[in-house]
Structure 1
């Protein structure tokens, strides 16, 4: 490829090379965690624990995918934890009122998208910094979730409400010798299948669509993107709407796992979402990031939590360790950008 006077192809090649290095570094970290926890716990590599890890990682991945879109534009979304609680509560209230479960969960997802749209409007029209706008939405969404439920959990939602979060595809159960059911194969959780489909869809959107190219252009140089004809405001709003929709879906899946709508669910989940994206190579200054890297980052956090739990590490120490991991990855990102 010929290099222009501006050196753009050379810079793009350097960015692609850095992305690849970061992604393989994250993958190497993931493999190291698997090896270490396999040596410290005999049950870590069991099939049941693998299913547990995959299911627990779904919530991080859903939010991380949305965070990737937003962070690539140079923004941030701190509201996803509260938005997922509000979306799950709305789905629970609708299901309790007799609305079919599928429609109730669609309502929850749409509420998440509406919150994302409001975030985008505040950031693009009112010109508020993303940090402040989404921090305000975090408070508003959590307050609404607590207000409409009276700060109480909504229970008695029925078995159908728990299918998405607890159901599995190809689950095989046989009758044991003692007459009790025996699980031969736990199957693949519906939540994990949804995660895989969403990851593929998001990767295609980022890599193959005009919208995805515009996201990268805005994150690299917003003014240059505007002068090139990119509708910056619409693209940014689209990124925040996607983040809200995925947060709404995450809320529905979490409430489905609990078969209860909890208005206090999702506290500090936004930190996991941002961490999974950054660990996977998404730059906080914008313009750089991949979906595959975010999925790897989500599994690093999921496996780290699971392995520490299995080794009896207290939740307080886990917070310290994961906090240090976040600080370390952001520091590496900053060093990479300075170079």
Structure 2
């Protein structure tokens, strides 16, 4: 394929991705309207904040996954890396390290796992599916081995601040001496997701590394001939995915105020689903952070609405699976056209 043909193909795929994003927005609106009829509490403030909290972890994973998918790769290890990062943080805090440096160590652990993924893929020429599948097993095994498959608890109240704190919380003391929550506030994880999403969108659209990620996914050989360091670009994308998995682990474990080495199972599928539903192409070269955020909220609203409707967890898995298959099928049709 010539550079002209590659450029034309990318423009067509971007146009298809824009339509895909619009359809994702329409789907999100329809889900909200439909679930508002199934439960009167769906539109309550508390439930809206619950959706934000549930979506924050998926959204953070989806941002990193989007960057990897744009390069034409995949990262199946994010759920296990999330758990390992949480375990490293929990053990560090138990050993006497302050909470913030401990969380930083957990994020660094996630970034290191991502960097190893990138190096295995670029230097050893192993396909992303196999490389990240191996890391998924290694990270999960390490998390279970380091803890003996037992949770790490009693980490202190400060450990729970990130996952359970909020801005602008309004509490009023009643005459009986008990506090009454007037406004629960905006959760820290929701604000963190917004900041990371804006930063990710800025990197993809405004920074050189973002343009390199897009060019590598569009046509790797053409990008190489144009002077793009393909190895460094891929390693950067996988490192970012690992770091965000570590950050998501901090948010999730902080919400639980306990480190669970079994957490994060199947989270990689939610992240992939969010990215693909939002318009990222599994063929590479196309995707956006805004689209992935829409996809993450579709997954979050769908799970929340089904929970409120009393749908069993097993049926929820079936429905999410159908949604993923449908999104990938639409992506294939878009690429063929």
Query: Shorter chain as normaliser: what TM range?
Result: over 0.9
- Write the distance in 2 (CA, Å) between the matches of 1:41 and 1:152: 37
Query: Could you say what secondary structure the match of 1:265 adopts?
Result: coil
What is aligned with 1:256? 254
Shift of 1:178: 3.5
What is aligned with 1:199? 197
CA-atom RMSD, angstroms? 1.3
Asked if structure 1 preserves the Cα contact closer than 8 Å seen for 2:13 and 2:334, the reply is no
Change over 3 Å in CA distance of 1:8–1:323 after alignment to 2:
closer
What is aligned with 2:222? 224
- Write the distance in 2 (CA, Å) between the matches of 1:242 and 1:70: 9
Shift of 1:96: 1.4
Task: Name whichever of 238-247 and 222-231 sits farther off.
Answer: 222-231
Residues 86-136 of structure 1, C-alpha deviations (whole Å, 9 max, x = no match): 000111111112211000000000000000010001000000000000000
Alignment of 1:1-339 (within 5 A): 6=4, 10-339=8-337
Query: Could you say what secondary structure the match of 1:333 adopts?
Result: helix
Could you tell me which runs of 5 or more consecutive residues in structure 2 were left unpaired when the two chains were aligned.
none
Could you tell me which runs of 5 or more consecutive residues in structure 1 were left unpaired when the two chains were aligned.
none
- Write the distance in 2 (CA, Å) between the matches of 1:179 and 1:329: 53
Shift of 1:221: 0.8
Asked if structure 1 preserves the Cα contact closer than 8 Å seen for 2:84 and 2:143, the reply is yes
Shift of 1:180: 1.7
- Write the distance in 2 (CA, Å) between the matches of 1:266 and 1:8: 38
Task: Name whichever of 31-40 and 14-23 sits farther off.
Answer: 14-23
Shift of 1:13: 4.0
- Write the distance in 1 (CA, Å) between the matches of 2:90 and 2:135: 21
- Write the distance in 2 (CA, Å) between the matches of 1:113 and 1:228: 28
With the length of structure 1 as denominator, give the TM-score of the two structures: 0.97
Which segments of structure 1 move beyond 6 Å, counting only runs of 4 or more?
none
- Write the distance in 1 (CA, Å) between the matches of 2:81 and 2:41: 35
- Write the distance in 1 (CA, Å) between the matches of 2:222 and 2:7: 16
Query: Could you say what secondary structure the match of 1:6 adopts?
Result: helix
Asked if structure 1 preserves the Cα contact closer than 8 Å seen for 2:39 and 2:308, the reply is yes
With the length of structure 2 as denominator, give the TM-score of the two structures: 0.98
Shift of 1:165: 0.4
